[in-house]
Each structure stands twice: as C-alpha cells, then as structure tokens.
Amino acid sequence: MEKAMKAISEILSILETIVVYQRIDVTMTQSSTSPVIQPHGPITFVQKTTVGNITTITGSVPLFFNGQSDSDFTRVRLQFFVPDDNGNPFPLNGAVPASVVVFPATVSALGEQNFGWGVDDFFIVQLENFGQVNADIAVFGQKANLLRVGFQAIFIRP
C-alpha cells in the first residue's frame, strides 16, 4: 500500500508539472492567425476513465478539411470542447485541464501527387466550466483530406 501511495504521489507531481508547462504553452500559442474550424459532426468513440483524481477522456473528432495547395500546407485551427460520455461538453466542476494530445486519425488522398497531414500544435484551455481543445492542423495537396483527428485529454481534480 505504501509503494502504491508513493507511486501515485510521483504521478501527481509529474502531472502538476505538465499543468505548468501546458499553461506556458497556451500563452505562447494563442497568437495563431489561422482560420478557425469546428468539428464536422458529433465527436465519437468517447471513452472516459477516472482513477483517483485523474480523469482521461479520449475520442475522435470528425472533420472534412481539404488541402488547398500543391506547393504548401493549408493550415487551420480546430476548436472543440472535450465531451462527456453523452457528447455534451465535459463539466470541469473544479478539475484542471492538465494535458492534451491531438493526432491525425483518418486521412485520404487521390492521385499520385505529393500529399501530407499534420498537427502543428495543440493545447487545452479552461473556457467557463469546460475544457476547450485548440489544434493547429495542416494538409498538403489539393487532393488530400484530413477526415478525423483523435485526442486524449487529462484533467486533475485538486
């Protein structure tokens, strides 16, 4: 039991450090001039897991984001609220958004030209009582599409 409590204490210490780094990241990245887009439908495959005072939520965000150029990446900022099990914004109720990861999940391309997809940057902020994810996404090639991104968000209840 003592080893388990020590391990949990070490994990919480690491997560507190992540919160500090995440807050620094938010102030550095909110100056994006990319157009903002919203999900192209409800967020799916939502799974919420809570262990002690740490809640992890994962899911898949549908998009329909096309590349606009064959010589450069087209970039936009995707914004969405982390959902609960029912698809509604997850109420924080005192929890602190600690960390988020966003990654391309479903992509498509037609033809033989060069193409690519990416997530340039991502962060989570508290907006009212909810966690809002911001992800700067990019697609290269006029026939390339980013159809879905996945995410994992972590919240800590003090």
Fill in the DSSP letter of residue 48: E
Has this prediction a pTM greater than 0.85?
no
Under the banding of pLDDT at 50, 70 and 90, the label for residue 116 is confident
Q: What is the pLDDT of residues 28-63, one digit of tens each?
A: 334 456 788 888 888 888 899 999 999 999 999 999
SS3 at position 21 = helix
CA 100, distance to chain mean position in Å, is 5
Structure token digits, residue 12:
């919480």
Is a pLDDT exceeding 60 seen at residue 24? no
